[in-house]
Amino acid sequence: MQTTTPQFKENARTALANPQLQQALTKMKVGFVERRAQARAALPEFDALRDQARDIKNHTLEHLDLYLERFEEKVTAAGGHVHWARNAEEARRQVIEICRGVEAKSVTKGKSMISEEIALNGALEEAGFEVVETDLGEYIIQLRKEHPSHIIAPAIHVLKEQVAEDFRAHHIQFDKARPLTEPRQLIAEARQVLRQKYLDSDVGITGANFLIAETGTSVIVTNEGNGDLTQTLPKVHVVIASLEKVVPTLDDASAILRVLARSATGQEFSAYTTFSTGPRRPDDPDGPEQYHVILLDNGRSGMLGTEYQDMLRCIRCGACMNHCPVYGAVGGHAYGWVYPGPMGAVLTPSFIGVDQGGHLPNASTFCGRCAEVCPMRIPLPKMMRHYRAKEYEEGLAPPAMRFGLDLWGFVATKPRLYRLATRIAMGLLGRLGRKRGRFARLPLAEGWTRHRDFPAPEGSTFQDQWDAMGGAR
Amino acid sequence: MSAARDQILGHIRRSLGRGEGAEAAAAREAVDARLTERPRGLIPERARTPDPDALVALFQEKAARVDCTTQVIASLDELPDAVADYLARENLPAELRMGAHPDLTAAPWDSRPTLSVSTGPTDGSHAVSVAAAFAGAAETATLALLSGPDAPTTLNFLPESEIVLLRKSRLVGPYEDVWRLLRARNEEAGGLPRTVNLITGPSRTGDIEQTIELGAHGPLRLHVVILDDV
């Protein structure tokens, strides 16, 4: 996928000025947050289960090579095939080869972020295949030629009136005067259109929420059932998954499932959690004849053993973006690549480089809500801080910011100078602002005062007040 | 292909900084132990009751919350009535598609002559399916259905309405107990089935403006008939 991450600031400005997007984001903010809070309150063991989920993934990552070997062995024993892909290019080629091998014409897809990461749709279309997204949200944005703006609700930025317009433009087989004002009507129409696509499809591609080493099983979690139709009806089922999706056992998968849906949509469990092992058995009346798993690295093996290893615990629930004030203000597209929100602020520089993704770790107020709600207890702000430091060290931060940081660094490492400078500054600001208690405009701080007042200081520094109160040193 | 495999695994090992010899052997042992012992984690209190009646009550309570209807019958003889009455109540056609599962074929379907019953997978032309669950987890009203010669997977997704028979003796608390039953079955069957479907309520989506709607791609209705065989 083409990245616009380096233009994050412009993207954000455009997003803030987009009334339709702002309306859609307002609807999102209440829903996810409240439902997660209710789900958490309804399960007393929830936080203990988060600790456990973290520990399971930590153990798995420390033995990742061994669990992947075991997974491969079990898939092969069940009659499936495992393909290893070092990067996006290799993964795309493997999928295309499989499709060509069965002379496929039409390919249906369940929702997969890995597919976005490797820009699979474009490559398949270029190779001559018809590609149909079957998750309702993904289908909507495919019609709109857009990318997902949220990892679990890809069309969250689209209003229902816009969906109706898209359906009228694309589904020309139906009566022009049909009513499409209610979500119910839109869903019924999509159901009807996509039903035929499933039946005509030659290859079904899904992602995986988990891979299970014990049994060589891939797992998908959906609410619509689209992933199941995608992987059941065609001759071939292709799973595209990244390395860190593996867990040891069925028990481990269910332990993590207990925190997944609750964190994502606030459901206790998603409607469909499906465990697939190999192709259909000789006596089975339905199911795919071939089963392939593509294991994608694309930079993940390099994150192991670094300060970013914790990020590989991520189960893609989206809680971090649902609770993020920055995501809530600008939406997912502003982030400019596949993964938005706090998780994207760590993954994007990891996968496409600090030079491309360095803006994102700065797009944070460090309020810490993302880490607070993460079911896998990933310290997101800490990792964003690492990337900020890296951006500075590599000389990628803009000159004004570097100058400011250098100046502050110079003063802050000289206590006497620091105390003197702050005493003068606070005294001055305190006198100037005493009357109104705030500043509507302040030189050098327009970035702040353009949108809100700056509270006036009391007149003396904390250290002086501490001394005056006789505080211990 | 194998070059990619070796390079990825090699990179993982280097990144983890795992040494050779004793260290590598210890890592292997830890993995073997986890895969053979399959330690059970924390099971929520609510799922820990062994009492079958309490499990039925929990299942029914959780099912209602996800728009899944339930009823209890005392014997398989009552299944045709339960199904026919449900179809009448919901104003659905009296045509059923089902797998040739022994529990389903054993029911006296002739007792309700208006019902027309056929067996096999579906191509989407059947409005109502009947399936037999392998087990159920009361924790979240989750059904476990296995694919097999007498259990086509398409029956769980293509029809607009699905009716599932669940034996009370197969109703457990947590998901982990479903795996316990499944592993026992695998010993006999020689491995896992192609598909294990964990199903919790009918198909749904919130993809249009966060409004939850039922019947996105899979069934719009899910009705569970619990057979009291305990």
Q: How confident is the model at residue B90 (pLDDT cuts 50, 70, 90)?
A: very high
| pLDDT given for residue A405 in this prediction | 85
How many helical (H) and strand (E) elements, i.e. helices and strands, does chain B have?
6, 12
Interfacial A residues in 47-86 facing B (CB < 8 Å) = 48-49, 52, 56, 59, 62-70, 78, 83-86
| Confidence band for A472, pLDDT divided at 50, 70 and 90 | confident
Interface of B with A in 79-98 (CB under 8 A): none
Residue A82 pLDDT > 90: yes
CATH domain A63-160+197-296 topology: Rossmann fold (3.40.50)
pLDDT in tens, A172-228: 999 999 999 999 999 999 999 999 999 999 999 999 999 999 999 999 999 999 999
- A-facing residues of B in 127-156 (CB < 8 A) are 140, 142, 147-149, 152-154, 156
Percent of chain A's residues with pLDDT above 70: 100
Interface contact B16-A305, CB threshold 8 A: yes
CB A261 within 8 A of CB A269: yes
> Which domains occur in chain B, in start order?
2-37 (no CATH), 50-227 (3.40.50.10420)
State whether B217 and A191 contact (CB < 8 Å).
yes
Whether A349 contacts chain B with CB within 8 A = no
How far is A316 from A304, CA to CA, in rounded Å? Answer: 18
Residue bearing tokens 């984001």: A25
Tens of pLDDT, residues B185-197: 999 998 999 999 9
- A433 CA to chain B: closest CA distance, Å? 46
CB contact under 8 A, A136 and B207: yes
Which 3 state secondary structure label does DSSP give A62?
Answer: helix
DSSP string covering A211-253, please? EETTTTEEEEEESSSHHHHHHHSSSEEEEEEEGGGEES-HHHH
Q: Do B210 and A258 touch (CB under 8 A)?
A: no
For the record, the structure tokens of A86 come out as 């070092």
| Touching A: B residues 54-73, CB under 8 Å | 62, 65-66
Q: How confident is the model at residue B2 (pLDDT cuts 50, 70, 90)?
A: confident
Say whether residue B15 is in contact with chain A using an 8 A CB cutoff: yes
Contact in structure between A76 and A172 (CB atoms under 8 Å): no
User: What is the token pair recorded at B115?
Assistant: 């019902």
Cβ–Cβ under 8 Å, residues A311 and A242: no
Is A199 within 8 Å of chain B by CB?
A: yes
Q: d(Cα B46, Cα B66) in Å, to the nearest integer?
A: 18
For the beta carbon of residue A55, count every other beta carbon within 10 angstroms: 14
Q: Residues near A223 by Cβ (< 8 Å), separated by ≥ 6?
A: A265, A267, A270, A271, A272, B203, B204, B205, B206, B216
Q: In whole angstroms, give the CA distance from residue A191 to residue B203.
A: 11
CA distance A183 to chain B (A): 6
CB B144 within 8 A of CB B136: yes
Taking the CA of residue B190 and the nearest CA in chain A, the distance in Å comes to 11
Helix (H) or strand (E) holding A203: strand A203-206
Mean pLDDT of B103-114: 95
Q: Decide if A350 contacts A299 (C-beta within 8 A).
A: yes
- Rounded Cα distance between B156 and B97, Å, is 11
**Contact list, A237 vs chain B (CB under 8 Å):** none
Q: Is A22's Cβ below 8 Å from some Cβ in B?
A: no
ipTM of this model?
A: 0.97
Of A85, A226, A257, the CB nearest to B217: A226
Distance linking the first and last C-alpha atoms of chain B? 54
Spatial separation of the C-alpha atoms in residues A120 and B147, rounded to whole Å? 30
Exposure letters A167-183 (e unless 16+ CB within 10 A, then b): beeeeeeeeeeeebeeb
Tell me whether residues A254 and B179 touch, CB distance under 8 A: yes
Nearest to B98 by CA among B38, B145, B40: B145
Give the three-class secondary structure for B179: helix
In the predicted model, what is the mean pLDDT of residues A392-404?
83
Q: What residues in B contact A243, CB-CB < 8 Å?
A: 8, 12
CA-closest candidate to residue B197, choices B212, B182, B209: B182
Domains in chain A: boundaries: 1-42+319-397, 63-160+197-296, 400-468
Query: In terms of CA atoms, which chain A residue is nearest residue B11?
Result: A301
| pLDDT digit string, tens, across residues B42-83 | 999 999 999 999 999 999 999 999 999 999 999 999 999 999
State how far the alpha carbon of A172 is from the alpha carbons of A104, A168, A178, in Å: 26, 6, 11
The token pair at A273 is 């959690």
Note whether B192 and B182 are within 8 A (CB): yes
